[in-house]
Amino acid sequence: MDLGEDLVEGVFLERVNRFLARVEVVGRDVGVHVPNSGRMKELFVPGWRVLVRPVLSENRKTKFDLVLVDTGHALASVDARMPNALVAEGVDNQHLSQFCGYPEVRREVTFGDSRLDLMLEGPNGKCYIEAKSVTLVVNRVALFPDAPTVRGAKHLHTLQTVLQAGHRAAVIFVVQRPDAIAFATSDLSDPALAAALRSAMAVGVEAYAYNCEVTERMIRLDQSLPIRNYYEVVDHV
């Protein structure tokens, strides 16, 4: 996915609240929209290089969106809206070959009282997919979530309902950086989410994890990651 040519370098200064950060851009201290409600303390480090996108809108209090963080050894995307588009792109270009055979793709669909990211439809029926944004990587293991998320567990329960209705159901954890070689739920951060994933997988909900190739110009799904039990890798993270 093309990130465009308009990204501007800055220096991260401070996260003010969930959706606002201060960044030094061209020598000026400016407010920047953070398109992610996660904690991301490991990425929002004062002094780190970031890339922001100018946003021209009279209705916006902030004139920039935070897009990428340079960790020193890799670029990480922080936009929680990105996984939906990346998964749709992966289905379209067949990088996600397990979802071939669905010519119709719809985004942001309602099932029950939940809104899921994608619904694929083809001769073999429907497949509902929820994509989750992952930014926390510790010792090369991607962990989700970095803070409790009631919504995350709810989506996993909804995917079980999808399965019970006779459709295919899947969750894809999109690690928006290239430096992870495995994925695990962060059981200590959110034991309810971890239990919901185990329950969903036990009844047939499919679960996948992918890292991303990230440059200053593009981001795309890259390698499939093994999904590990948190307590198998906890000594290493």
pLDDT tens digits, one per residue of 172-212? 999 999 999 999 999 999 999 999 999 999 999 999 999 99
* % of the chain exceeding 90 in pLDDT: 90
In the predicted model, is pLDDT for residue 95 greater than 60? Answer: yes
Q: Do domains 8-77 and 82-236 have the same CATH topology?
A: no
- Output the pLDDT for position 210: 98
Residue closest to 145 by CA, chosen among 110, 196, 179, 111? 196
In the predicted model, is pLDDT for residue 235 greater than 70? Answer: no
- Output the pLDDT for position 56: 86
In the predicted model, is pLDDT for residue 5 greater than 80? Answer: yes
129 bridge partner residues: 118, 170
The chain-wide mean pLDDT, for the chain, equals 95
Task: Please write the tens of the pLDDT for every residue from 9-31.
Answer: 999 999 999 999 999 999 999 99
Region of poorest pLDDT, from 54-63, 140-149, 183-192, 193-202: 54-63
- Output the pLDDT for position 16: 97
DSSP state of 2: B
Overall average pLDDT of the 87-106 stretch:
97
Overall average pLDDT of the 61-69 stretch:
96
Instruction: Label the pairing between strands 168-175 and 125-134.
Output: parallel
Overall average pLDDT of the 106-129 stretch:
96
Cα radius of gyration rounded to whole Å, the chain: 18
Q: How far apart are CA 235 and CA 190, in angstroms?
A: 18
Please answer whether residues 130 and 116 qualify as being in contact, where contact means their C-beta atoms are separated by less than 8 angstroms.
yes
In the predicted model, is pLDDT for residue 4 greater than 60? Answer: yes
Overall average pLDDT of the 51-63 stretch:
91
DSSP result, 76-118: EE--TTHHHHHHHHHHHTTSSGGGTT--EEEEEEEETTEEEEE
For 82-236, CATH number?
3.40.1350.60
- Output the pLDDT for position 33: 97
Domain boundaries, the chain: 8-77, 82-236
Overall average pLDDT of the 84-111 stretch:
97
Architecture of domain 8-77: Beta Barrel (2.40)
In the predicted model, is pLDDT for residue 237 greater than 60? Answer: no
